[in-house]
Amino acid sequence: MVLKGLVAYGATNPDGYHGLHITTPPGVGGREITFNMDVPKGTILKVVSVRECWNCPFFRISYGFNIDSIPRLATSEVFGYPKILAPDEVTCTSPR
């Protein structure tokens, strides 16, 4: 569950890739960004995948999330880097 609020955004590149991502505020900007939106405090993020980039110099690990409570994000997997899972950003609500 999100504790303070996060930012989701859509991004595209010249190769036609379009993806949904989530990060900490204030978010990101640039020509490749197609939208930005707040992910409010209390939103449930369900971790559904982990991926590793073998040739990336930074941010080698990213997590895939389902965010069912936000219609614009509910239709696709949303990816984020480990920093959004920091204890001051989210808390686990599932029994271990």
Show the domain range for 48. 6-85
**pTM, rounded to two decimals:** 0.84
Is residue 39 within 8 A of residue 2, CB to CB? The reply is yes
* 74-90 pLDDT, tens digit each: 988 999 999 899 999 99
* 38-62 pLDDT, tens digit each: 999 999 999 999 989 888 777 789 9
Residue 68 lies in a domain: yes
For 46, 55, 61, 81, 92, the CA distances from 58, given in Å and listed in that order, are 24, 9, 9, 10, 26
Domain count for the chain, please give it: 1
Residue 13 lies in a domain: yes
Give the H/E segment covering residue 38: strand 33-39
